[in-house]
A = this chain, B = another copy of it.
Amino acid sequence: MSSKLRIIPLGGCGEIGKNMTAIEYDDHILIIDAGIMFPENDMLGIDYIIPDYNYLMDKLDKIEGILFTHGHEDHVGAVGHVMKDIKAPIYATPLTVGLLENKLQRAGLLKSVTINPIQAGDVFQVGIFTVEPFHMAHSIPDCVGFGIGTPAGLIVHSGDYKFDHTPVDGWPPDFAKLAEFAHRGVLCLMADSTNAEREGWTLSESVITAALDDVFSVAEGRVIVASFASLVSRIQQVANAAYKHGRKLAITGRSMRDTVNIARKLGYIDIPDNMLIDISETSKLPANQVTVMATGAQGEPTSVMGRLAHGRHPHLNIQAGDTVILSAHAIPGNEETVTNIINRLLQRGANVLYEDIARVHVSGHASREEMKLLINLVRPKFLIPVHGERRHLVQHAKLAEQMGIPKDNIAIVENGTVIELTSTTMSIGERIPGGHVYVDGSGVGDIGRKVMRDRERLAESGFFMAAVGSNGTGQLLGKPEYITRGLINMDEEWESEITEVVTRVMELHGRKAEKRVSSFIEEAISRYLYNETGKRPMVFVVLK
């Protein structure tokens, strides 16, 4: 078999090539990112989802290293899971290292993992791969893409990016490096497709500075800003606005406090010590001296914003005069919970500002004109659109075709599809397990499709259980006991009607083998319940 370069998107739920990617050449494997995803609305009871890296399990000794692009959850969140299996060293920029260390410590893995801090602009060897991280702008500092030299040619992976000329940290993307890659010749570009449906150019993060200043200038009460815990740039912007307007700042939500502590220690967030207060101290200050940053911009009921909206926060009560800023975009599937939070906060009398009515959030991802610029800067032979649902990958591919990349040189795949490259060809290879693994409570991966289907049915119609006394004579022993949940409010009329149903079945079949009697009773009760409620709950009968 001749040597081939294989690129495999391993993780994602909806999005493709987002959370984990493997690059394989003969017996050498390089991994990019290990993030988590949040479950869709119909994944009942699931906490989060990790990439399915089962494919790697019998190749663990071939993994040369794992590169991280930046510190957001969808790129680093699964590190505590994957590093239980992968023993290769980690490569990441300092802020990303700080955030990774925090996760590895919580997973009890910090001591067993080798972490190599890297800088944008470095060139280093990971096994047979020559890795060149280059700076990209996003909504967190220290974000990089990677140039990866392989025996088949140079791969460029964009990471999450936007071409922000005025980012919050003042460090624009490394256009020169991208052009230099083009000069050397790029075999394949893997690029962020998130905003492939958005015309134009994504607004700079710095427009938010002005919007926040406007809000802080007129706010009479407290200002409460909700965002993502790891949106480091946004936290800095809010801190700057609070500082300018003479307000103290309380950071609340464990994950956001962790991020701020790490980023401050490493010099990526600048907040004076005397500006930070504990959330419990906010009530002691005049309202116009208080700023709160909180998690929960997605409306999660147990988050700080969720508790504020429902009036269940121990230290804060939303009141008339408060200004609440939702500085985030609703992740697809969360629109309804976010809108509920907005409505509830308004009901409590707050002035609520959000993306649809004020410029308090901008996307961290490139729009169509930036995607075109990336392609023209890098001038790849082949393009693999990644980071997005199929609809975004398709639009990204159409845009590239319009720019002259032949259709056959663009690969749109699903997670778990192998893309095979030589220095002159690209083709779609085998399909391996790829996609996602559910994490549910403390269990990883033990929730299969059957359990999920059962949850759906229980959510739809509940269950009905009857414990029926039988002595094999066809007569009922005592009164059956019934337990039902999630179906309907049972009353005595129902109970006696169901007991009649059970009695009739027992008279007919009660002298036969026990096992069959219970299934006859189950069928009869199911029929009765369907006629009465139009529903098909799970029905169980236990003979006693």
Whether a CB of chain B sits under 8 angstroms from the CB of A307 is no
Within 8 A of B (CB), among A498-539: 532-535, 538
Stretch touching chain B among A249-257, A312-320, A485-493: A485-493
A450 CA to B462 CA, complexed, in Å: 12
Given contacts A440-B535, A443-B534, A446-B489, contact A339 B44 (CB under 8 A): no
Which residues of chain B have C-beta atoms less than 8 A from A487's C-beta?
451
Given contacts A443-B534, A446-B489, contact A336 B343 (CB under 8 A): no
A540 CA to B464 CA, complexed, in Å: 12
Whether a CB of chain B sits under 8 angstroms from the CB of A272 is no
Whether a CB of chain B sits under 8 angstroms from the CB of A461 is yes
A197 CA to B352 CA, complexed, in Å: 13
Stretch touching chain B among A2-10, A202-210, A419-427, A452-460: A452-460
Q: Which of A457, A487, A540 neighbours the largest number of chain B CB atoms within 10 Å of its CB?
A: A487
Given contacts A346-B391, A467-B467, A481-B542, contact A45 B336 (CB under 8 A): no
Q: Is the CB of B533 within 8 A of A486?
A: no
**How far apart are A138's CB and chain B's nearest CB, in angstroms?**
23
Identify A389's interface contact among B45, B339, B389, B456, CB under 8 A. Answer: B339
Number of copies: 2
Residue in chain B with minimal CB distance to A455:
B486
Q: Is the CB of A465 within 8 A of B462?
A: no
Identify A535's interface contact among B347, B441, B456, B542, CB under 8 A. Answer: B441
Which residues of chain B have C-beta atoms less than 8 A from A443's C-beta?
488, 533-535
Q: Is the CB of B442 within 8 A of A533?
A: yes
Which residues of chain B have C-beta atoms less than 8 A from A538's C-beta?
485
A352 CA to B45 CA, complexed, in Å: 32
Q: Is the CB of A332 within 8 A of B332?
A: no
Whether a CB of chain B sits under 8 angstroms from the CB of A137 is no
User: How many residues in A have their beta carbons less than 8 Å from beta carbons of B?
Assistant: 63
Taken residue by residue from 229 to 265, chain A's Cβ proximity to chain B (1 for < 8 Å, 0 otherwise) reads as 0000000000000000000000000000000000000
Which residues of chain B have C-beta atoms less than 8 A from A41's C-beta?
41, 336
**How far apart are A180's CB and chain B's nearest CB, in angstroms?**
34
Q: Is the CB of A451 within 8 A of B486?
A: yes
Q: Is the CB of B488 within 8 A of A357?
A: no
Residue in chain B with minimal CB distance to A488:
B446
A233 CA to B489 CA, complexed, in Å: 43
**How far apart are A501's CB and chain B's nearest CB, in angstroms?**
18
Residue in chain B with minimal CB distance to A452:
B486
Whether a CB of chain B sits under 8 angstroms from the CB of A544 is yes
Which residues of chain B have C-beta atoms less than 8 A from A463's C-beta?
458, 463, 485
Chain A positions within 8 Å of B, measured between CB atoms, are: 14, 40-41, 44-45, 197, 332-333, 335-336, 339-340, 342-343, 346-347, 352, 356-357, 389-391, 394-395, 414, 440-443, 446-448, 450-451, 454-463, 465, 467, 469, 481, 483, 485-489, 532-535, 538, 540, 542-544
12 other contacts beyond A41-B336, A450-B489, A463-B485, with CB at 8 A cut-off? Answer: A14-B339, A14-B343, A333-B335, A347-B414, A352-B391, A443-B533, A443-B535, A455-B458, A457-B485, A465-B483, A467-B544, A483-B542
Can you identify 24 A-B contacts, CB atoms within 8 angstroms?
A44-B460, A45-B461, A197-B357, A332-B336, A332-B339, A339-B391, A346-B394, A440-B535, A441-B461, A441-B533, A442-B532, A448-B489, A451-B488, A451-B489, A454-B486, A455-B458, A458-B458, A458-B459, A458-B463, A458-B485, A463-B463, A465-B483, A465-B542, A543-B544
